[in-house]
Amino acid sequence: MQPEIDVLGLPVKTFGLMFALGFLAAGAVIHRRMKEEGRPVDWAYEMIFAALIGGLVGARGIWILENLDRVKGDVLGSVFSGSGLVWYGGVIGGALFVCLWARWRGWLGLATLDMAAVPLALGNAIGRIGCQLSGDGDYGKAWHGPWAMGYPNGTVPTAPGETVHPTPIYETLAMGLIAWGLWVMRDRVRPGGLFALWLVGAGTERLLIEFLRRNDVVWLGLTLPQLQSIAMMVAGGIWLVIIRRRHGSVLLPRGELPDRATASAAAAA
């Protein structure tokens, strides 16, 4: 655990460092996909910038709405505070800004959503490394198993001598595998299918992880992130069913798989 590191005499927050690295990795994936699909590669930078701004606005805005009692005396100061981000707020805000950008570019459709699936999973995986390094309270319940950890020096420290589930590590591994699986499937599913698979995968991962985390129960023995995760899973599942009913299969027939060589040549031209 290392909440802060020294870079040329300047303190750098490791959470912020991993946050930035997650966006850079997502941008690299989008760049590769744009090239594969024969689209302008400069769009990758525009898309990731839109996601970054929207994600920050959404994550911070939702946190403020959920904590009005804590910030009502200084709402403006809280907007520019260095802490307080909500994951699903970031997803909503980022998605909204990307959709606005895609509409401006005349490219708003299923292909836009599919383009975002792998970067979303990969960015989440890398972001959780930041949570682990900073010890920001995303760790799990008290546990004394073989790989249990304490976060006594974290930004949200555990009690002296307490060990817990290192849930950020679990999420990094799970979302990394989901990102890899989506990347492998990127050319094998019908339009919209990749994003639907992300909804199901990310929702399932968060639903299960929440059983080990410390969030408060809000309804039917479930936490708010679990309810949100179930909504994601249901939406993704319905989406996949609709694709299957319309086309007979979520997977593309072998004869419809894209010719990447042709697309790459068109992009180079």
Q: What integer pLDDT is reported at residue 254 of this predicted model?
A: 78
- pLDDT value, residue 238: 97
For residues 136 and 148, give the distance between their C-alpha atoms in angstroms, rounded to a whole number: 16
% of the chain residues with pLDDT over 90: 54
Predicted confidence (pLDDT) at residue 86 exceeds the cutoff of 60: yes
The per-residue pLDDT for 87 is 67
What confidence tier does 268 reach under pLDDT thresholds 50, 70, 90? very low
CB-count exposure of residue 138 (10 Å: 0-12, 13-18, 19+): buried
Which residues touch 213 (CB under 8 Å, ≥6 apart)?
A: 138, 139, 140, 141, 165, 167, 223
Check residue 261 and give its pLDDT. 46
User: What is the per-residue pLDDT across 106-115, written as a single tens digit (0 to 9) for each?
Assistant: 999 999 999 9
Report percent pLDDT > 70 for the chain.
86
Rounded to whole angstroms, the Cα distance separating 89 from 54 reads 9
Residue 227 has pLDDT above 80, yes or no: yes
- State the DSSP string of 112-130: HHHHHHHHHHHHHHHHHHH
Please, which residues have CB within 8 angstroms of residue 189's CB and are 6 or more apart in sequence?
Answer: 197, 250, 251, 252
Q: State the residue for tokens 């307080």.
A: 84
pLDDT of residue 168: 93
Asked whether residue 61 carries a pLDDT value surpassing 50, the answer given is yes
Q: Is the pLDDT of residue 52 over 80?
A: yes
pLDDT at 3: 77
- Cβ contacts of residue 17 below 8 Å, gap of 6+? 5, 130
Structural domain boundaries in the chain = 4-39+107-268
Residue 48 above 70 pLDDT?
Answer: yes
Tokens of 106: 């005349």
The answer for residues whose C-beta is within 8 angstroms of residue 238's C-beta and 6 or more apart is none
Q: CA 159, CA 89: separation in Å to the nearest integer?
A: 29
- Can you tell me the mean pLDDT for 237-246? 96
pLDDT at 264: 46
Mean model confidence pLDDT for the chain:
86
Residue 212 has pLDDT above 60, yes or no: yes
- pLDDT exceeds cutoff 80 at 269: no
Write down the pLDDT at residue 267.
Answer: 44
Condensed to tens digits (0 to 9), the pLDDT of residues 119-155 reads 999 999 998 998 898 888 889 999 999 999 999 988 8
